[in-house]
Each structure stands twice: as C-alpha cells, then as structure tokens.
Structure 1
Amino acid sequence: MELTKKPTPKSTLIFGAAGHIGRPLAEYLTREAPDIPTFACRQKHRKVENTAEQVSRGRVLAADYEDLSSFAAAVKGVEGVFVISSSGMSENVAITNLTTVLKQDGSAVQVIRLLERILDGSGLPVTYINCGASIIDNLWLQIQPVLLNKTFICTEHRVPFLDPQDIAEVAGHLSLSDNAKHIGAFHTMNNGHNWLTYEEVAGILGDELGERLPLTEAMGLHGVLGP
C-alpha cells in the first residue's frame, strides 16, 4: 500500500457504544459501510439494551475491561477501534489493558480515541479527536435545577456547541478514510457555526420544554436560590 494511504478497517469495535457519541457512530458506520461489520462492546455488568446493538445488527460483545483474557477475546481480529470513556470505568486500567491486547492481537489498523492522549507511546496506529466545543445535549445534565427554578442560570457569554452526531460523523469519516495522515494526528472539532450566547441557549431549552426560560446571571444566584 502507498505510504500516503492506510488500510480501511474491515471491522470496527466501538467501546462506549451506550453513549450519545458511540451510538450515532454505530449508526453512521452501519449506514455508510454496511459491508464492514460494526461491533458494540459493553462492560459485562451493563445491560445489553443500553448498547448500540439495534444499529450494529445485534453484534454486541461483553468484556470485563479489567480482565486481559476477556478483553483479548473482544478485540480478536478487529481492525478498527473507537474508544470513549464510559461512566464507572477505571480508565487507566481499561486503556492499559486495551493497549496490551491490541498489541498482542496485532490486527488494528486504526484506533480512534476521543479526548485524552492516553495512548501516546503505545505504538498503536492512533488518531485523536478532540471536541473544541461544548456538547449540546450535556445541557440536559442541568435540566433539574432549570425546571425547579423556571430559569436558566449562567454567566452570559458565547460558547461554541457541537451535536454528538457531528462528532460521531467525524469519527466515522476518519475510520473509513484511507488517508494515512490521520494516523498520529490530533484533530480538534468545531463546526464554526453554533457559536451561541446563553440567552440563545435558554431560548432553545425553552422551545424544547414548551415554556419561556429567562436567563439569570450567575452573580444573581443568591436572589434566585436564597441564602
């Protein structure tokens, strides 16, 4: 193969497929490359229905991320790997074990890692992607106090936002690309369009909830929440 090209993975394994990025990635790969098997890997203690098995045609693998033999069975023969941390996961142990089993198996042609450069020095063909914006649906993590106080509390400023599906599509494009320049690269994602004020964000949340949500500056918290 030419030095400017990399192999396109003939199979892809998604760690963190239960999340808001892993699931749309599975959907994207299944839609754009239906002949390339896409597997969702879940931790053994998690329920199957919380993973992306519906869109990966039932291909769900369970692995104990702290057990090398279990991990090795999950990655056996897999060429493409997408890694995103999931809640409750001991990341240092899991990523160390993942590095070990991928190097032992030797099949991986590209590992795409969201955020931390924890795979530096692993010798694996890694592509890093970094979200240079806030993820829009993380706003729902703040929704309970918003509903309670009928106001959106934040210091007014502009923030870039990205949808998880955009992040998943970037990862999918990188996986299916044959451009070798992506190996070892660190790509920061920002669509340059959704540069919103928190007044605008409050309007979006209000539209979703069907009621007007005024923005209250964070410095006014005392007046809203009391002493």
Structure 2
Amino acid sequence: MSLPPEPWFLVFGAAGHIGRPCAQWLAERHPAAHLRVVSSRPDRAAELAELHPGADVMIADYLNADDMLAAFEGIHAAFVLTPDFIDEKTAMTNVANAVNEVGTLVRLVRLIGDPPGIRDESEVLALWGPDYRNETALHHLRARKILTGAGVPVVYMNIPGWFFEDFSEFLADPIRKKRTFVMAADRPMNFIATRDIGRCAAELLLDPSLTEVGETLHVENGIDTMIKFSAIADLMSEAWGVPIQYDGTDEAFLRELGPALRRYYKREDAAEHILAECHHEVPFINALLERGNDLRGGERHLTPQMLGFEALSLKSWLQDNRDVFVSGAD
C-alpha cells in the first residue's frame, strides 16, 4: 500500500534529538506533505511551532487514549518513539487502538533499542536470569508484543548502538573535568548521530515499499561500527588534539557517571541499572561475534548511504562539539 500524493505524517518527540530531525527531513523531502508534530510537554508548544513552521502542533500524552485518537486522526505514516521508563503497555495499547479506529495509517515506524534477534522479554530473562531488572531493555519488547498483536502496520527500527549525543549528556563530566572517558565493561559497539536516526526514520515513512510490516531493521551509520569503548578515548584525543585517558572500572563508572545518570533518567538507581546493562552486553556481544555476526543478529540493516544521504561520522561530530568537552584547551 502506498501513500497518497499529499500524505499526513505524524512525528512524536518532535522537539527532541531524534524526532526533530525526522520532522525537518520530512518537510524538506516532501514539501507537499502535511505534518503533525507532537510533544507531551505543553511548555514546548511554542518551540515546536518555531522548529517546524507550517506544521500542525499538538500536545499529547501517550497515556491518554483521547490524545492518541486526536493525534492519529487522518494520519498516513507515523514515527513513534517513547521516553525511558514509560508504561509501554498502556501507551502502545492507546496507540494501537487509535490506529485501528482511525483506519488511515499505512505505516508506523517504531524506534526500539533491543538486543538483536530478541522478540520477547522472556528471552531476555532466559539469557540474563530472573533477577534481571533493567526496565528500559524490556519496555521495547512489551511495546512490540502489543503493536504486532493488534495488527498495526508497524516496522521496528532498532538502534544496536549508542548515540553520539550520549557523550555530551551523561558521559561528559569526567571528560570535561579530568580528560578521562569513563565506560565500564569494555566491549565493541556501534555509534550513530541522532540526526541520522531521525532522517532514516523519515525515509522509511516517505516510502513504505522499503519495508515489510512486522520486520525489524537495524540502523547503523556505516562508519562507526564495532569500535571498542577503550578506543573511543584515542578517537577523542585525535579529534580534539589533547590527550584523553580511558577508565573502564566499575568504581569510576559509579563515581564519575552516577550523578549525571541519575539526573538524566530521573531515578536514584539509574547508574546501577546502566552498569548492569553494560556488563550484560559483554557475553551477548561476544557470542554474536563468535558466530560471525555483528550487532544485527543476522537481520536486515540500513545505513544513511543506503537511504540516499551522507552519514555524520563520530570523529566529525566530536570535532564539531570540541568546545563542549575541552573548551579552552590548547
């Protein structure tokens, strides 16, 4: 099924790092399209209108069924991403009910961050034990079960990696103060700019023929793949022209990153949650690599280049944001 000549697009989180570039790329790529941009925060309405001139601005809460009905009214393609620790069961039930009641949606792209190949939270518990309590890793799997079970025309855009912006958010303090990059459980990882995630989502919305309902696509930037965290310090040193050290101890993680993680996730146990996730990733990634796989689990992947635009590299991003980390350095 294809989109009409002047489709309506819906983008949630349109004031954020991922939703904003998604909506802006849609407007640039399809000027004849109609765009509805959504935030859950009333104080961001004016900002949304400024960021997305000409768009239909809406304040809506995933947890409010009436809000979701209003948001999806007349929509042909939608990008859904949710904040950490949300009640996915309620949120995605409201989304699914709205999609099915409205009846106009051709494609929904849902952003997820799951271990490759995992389809249910029971599989996570089988891998990492019944004491596993990282709710952020389980939320997306709960969302998948609801959306697919309700027959929503959804594709899952998985990001098997870390965002560039993570470095300037909860990883920045020890870099600024001690010129030390801190990350426990050294392991290979993919890295991608949130700008490129948003643009990839937009391309999938623009052309539903690129995807099949129910499939999972792993999005990478095609440049910064399978880099060990310990090597990131060397990349930073090269990009900024100052020496950056690496500390991979648990003690440094909790001490140096704990305050920022608690602020970022608004939870007192956030640092412990993320540290546990770091350690859980090590054997899982090693097992994938031993089987000759990368972080796609044998499933289809996409890159910006495959979708027709140039990706931003981590080194370029670090150079562009040098003053955020080493302002005043020689």
Tell me the equivalent position of 1:3: none
TM-score by length of 1: 0.82
Residue 200 (structure 1) shift:
4.3
Tell me the equivalent position of 1:128: 156
Alignment of 1:1-227 (within 5 A): 6-8=1-3, 10-49=7-46, 51=48, 53-86=50-83, 89-115=86-112, 116=140, 117-118=144-145, 119-140=147-168, 141-154=170-183, 155-179=185-209, 181-195=211-225, 196-205=227-236, 211-218=242-249, 221=252
Residue 76 (structure 1) shift:
1.0
Mapped contact 1:161–1:194 kept (Cα < 8 A) = yes
Residue 74 (structure 1) shift:
2.0
Unaligned runs of 5+ in 1: 1-5
Structure with bigger helix share is 2
TM-score by length of 2: 0.59
Unaligned runs of 5+ in 2: 113-139, 257-330
* Consecutive aligned runs of 4 or more in structure 1 exceeding 6 Å deviation: 207-210
Alpha-carbon distance change, 129 to 53 in structure 1, aligned in 2, over 3 angstroms:
farther
Residue 29 (structure 1) shift:
0.4
Alpha-carbon distance change, 56 to 133 in structure 1, aligned in 2, over 3 angstroms:
farther
Alignment identity in percent? 26
Residue 108 (structure 1) shift:
0.7
Structure with bigger strand share is 1
Greater mean alpha carbon deviation, residues 188-197 or residues 48-57: 48-57
Alpha-carbon distance change, 50 to 200 in structure 1, aligned in 2, over 3 angstroms:
farther
Q: d(CA) in 1 for partners of 2:93 and 2:251? A: 45
Count of residues paired in the alignment: 219
More contact order relative to length (CA 8 Å, sep ≥ 6)? 1
Mapped contact 2:35–2:55 kept (Cα < 8 A) = no
